[in-house]
Amino acid sequence: MKDVTLGIDIGGTNTVFGIVNKNGTIIFKDSIPTNGMEPAGNLFERLFAKFNNSFEHYSKEYKIVGIGMGAPNANYYTGAIENPINLNWGYVDASSLIKKYYDLPFALTNDANAAAIGEMEFGSAKGMKNFVEITLGTGLGSGIIIDGKMLYGHSGTAGELGHINIVRDGRRCGCGSKGCLETYVSATGIKRTVFELLSSSRDESGLRDISFNQLTSKQIYDAANLGDKIAINAFKYTGKMLGDALADMVAILSPEAFVIFGGLAQAGEMLFEPTRKQMENSLLDFYKGKIKLVKSGLEEGDAAILGASALIWQELRK
Amino acid sequence: MKDVTLGIDIGGTNTVFGIVNKNGTIIFKDSIPTNGMEPAGNLFERLFAKFNNSFEHYSKEYKIVGIGMGAPNANYYTGAIENPINLNWGYVDASSLIKKYYDLPFALTNDANAAAIGEMEFGSAKGMKNFVEITLGTGLGSGIIIDGKMLYGHSGTAGELGHINIVRDGRRCGCGSKGCLETYVSATGIKRTVFELLSSSRDESGLRDISFNQLTSKQIYDAANLGDKIAINAFKYTGKMLGDALADMVAILSPEAFVIFGGLAQAGEMLFEPTRKQMENSLLDFYKGKIKLVKSGLEEGDAAILGASALIWQELRK
């Protein structure tokens, strides 16, 4: 029998899960709709019905030794999901819910933290002991690894880099504050920048024909590749903001590297080049030229499962 | 024989040292001029000549089990002091220099880190596992404790909170950058704020009779206590800047508390009240009302020795 773990990632729309071995090979994976308006217990019931059904086929060869879970507003210390935005759940004691199905070692954390642990176990940060994972989705998440361990902090909720202030009295943020990093650096952030530039400049741009709600970061990237000035400048501005924030993180944490994950990271050098330039410009002298900025090594579709699985593999080694 | 450690703190002007027991009681202490224009070896020679002479009297009762040292630009990993500003030393292999006198366990870190460890062992952070020590002197230093351990980061130089950007294109900093936190929040920072306010406002103020070079933060505090508007507003502005920076640190690190140390901390609520107000205002909702802001519990004159001693006590427990 070969040891495997079950990795589960609860997203706003879909919940993905899969069986993963020690080397990060996904034996099988599947997904179901999260249905966040139904009680959480309903999701867990559907999830394990489907999982058990599929796993039957593998149960002679593989033995599940632990379950890892990534979820929004997850608290590692309590094993609970606490008032997740977009899910009508309130407080969910995930640890107890899981025990109804499998009495196995269980660990829970948020998606960005899970991505960071996945990166360390299976991705671009293999062998690194100090790095910061930045996930660029609708918002900006982060997971901080210090001395080979996840930083949870006193409350279990450390690593909210998306909500450090980057512009005094800047853009209004969903958290209630103004000028948070994620209002500039995220899929939504770059859209807001495009609309600012469409308003402040007179440059012709294909983006002038697309509404705010319809515009995607992929369209901005495609436009930039075609030489659209507004789109190019939007990436430059996004990189400048990110680069400044990363330089501050270096002063505080002294990481070896930043690993960038998520949709916007697909833009590659279009985003990385202005980020690196601004970071280098803002770094304390003795850090210049020494901090790596790399793209995630996790396949976008598999990252969530790999992260959740890596989380519990790491716990099992403790 | 009772176990004690030797704590040494190398400052720009004086080097202090003392024998400290496990409970943080200083058995004896002394100091010598650092003479930073002479080679470092010279300081170590004078230091141990004086120390051995004094220690003779105690050597029947006490046994030295380790040596801890705080110094500017100190690297914990290498045991070296690297191009300290104000000391004409270049690279000093402190670890090897010490071995010429005592072949004992030795640990080295910078002054702010040593203060943080001292605070955890003997001061306001006893029993805390996650906190940030902020030292307000000529500049702003910090020491970050995570899960009961000092954060050194990949390079050994983490915790330079004084150099995070707080005002875009703000005040020129000694590090070459602009808008660093310590250009606003430090003894020098508040002086710069006073001079900004003397220039922008028309308020009468006793501070209008003092030159920049002569003005001390103590004078600003005294003036504020007498109702001087400029001085009061300078403290408010300093607290606002510090409060914003602390809120960012909470989002990143999720500490239990901030411990404030150094000359400017003596101003107490004059500084703490506006800092707390701004921090609360800028915190993510789930942190509001939960983060402690406390004054150092270390006697100003003893803190450096206690910090250096605590550093090696901690190593010895590993």
**Confidence (pLDDT) at B300:** 83
Q: Do A253 and B152 touch (CB under 8 A)?
A: no
Query: DSSP assignment of A247-269, as one string?
Result: HHHHHHH--SEEEEESGGGGGTH
Answer yes or no: do A156 and A76 share one domain: no
Residue of B252, B259, B288, B292 to mutate, interface with A, max A Cβ within 10 Å: B252
Segments in chain A below pLDDT 70: none
CATH code at position A101: 3.30.420.40
Distance CA B108, CA A56 (A): 57
Encoded tokens for A274: 């202005």
Answer yes or no: do A188 and A235 share one domain: yes
Q: Which of B177, B252, B254 sits opposite A282 (nearest CB)?
A: B177
Size of interface A-B (CB pairs under 8 A): 101
Answer yes or no: do B287 and B307 share one domain: no
Distance CA A15, CA B221 (A): 58
B130 chain-A contacts, CB cut-off 8 A: 153-154
**Confidence (pLDDT) at A142:** 96
Segments in chain B below pLDDT 50: none
The pLDDT tens digits for B42-65 are 999 999 999 999 999 999 999 999
Q: Which of B147, B165, B248 sits opposite A282 (nearest CB)?
A: B165
Distance CA B124, CA B298 (A): 7
Q: Which helix (H) or strand (E) holds A28?
A: strand A26-33
Answer yes or no: do A168 and A241 share one domain: yes
Answer yes or no: do B172 and B240 share one domain: yes
Q: Do B163 and A251 touch (CB under 8 A)?
A: yes
Q: Of the candidates B257, B263, B196, which has an alpha carbon nearest to the alpha carbon of residue B231? A: B196
Which value does ipTM take for this structure? 0.92
Instruction: State whether the Cα torsion B264-B268-B270-B273 is positive or negative.
Output: positive
What pTM does this model have? 0.93
**Confidence (pLDDT) at A85:** 75
Answer yes or no: do B166 and B265 share one domain: yes
Task: Tell me A186's DSSP state.
Answer: S
The shortest C-alpha distance from A136 to chain B (Å) reads: 16
B248 chain-A contacts, CB cut-off 8 A: 164-165
Q: Do B158 and A253 touch (CB under 8 A)?
A: yes
The shortest C-alpha distance from A31 to chain B (Å) reads: 31
Distance CA A190, CA A235 (A): 7
Answer yes or no: do B164 and B138 share one domain: yes
Structural domain total, chain B? 2
Instruction: State whether the Cα torsion A112-A115-A117-A119 is positive or negative.
Output: negative
Q: Do A252 and B164 touch (CB under 8 A)?
A: yes
Q: Do B168 and A165 touch (CB under 8 A)?
A: no
Q: Which residues neighbour A299 within 8 Å (Cβ) at sequence distance 6 or greater?
A: none
The pLDDT tens digits for A8-28 are 999 988 999 999 999 999 999
Answer yes or no: do B63 and B105 share one domain: yes
CA angle A304, A179, B272 (to 5 degrees): 105
Answer yes or no: do A166 and A18 share one domain: no
**Confidence (pLDDT) at A223:** 98
Q: How many CA atoms lie within 13 A of A204 on its CB side?
A: 2
Answer yes or no: do B155 and B234 share one domain: yes
Answer yes or no: do B257 and B308 share one domain: no
Measured CB to CB, residues of chain A less than 8 Å from chain B are 129-130, 144, 146-147, 149, 151-161, 163-165, 167-168, 175-177, 244, 247-249, 251-256, 282, 284-287, 290
Q: Which residues neighbour B58 within 8 Å (Cβ) at sequence distance 6 or greater?
A: B19, B27, B28
| Domain range for A44 | 2-120+301-317
Q: Give residue A130's region: left, alpha or beta (phi > 0; psi -120 to 50).
A: beta
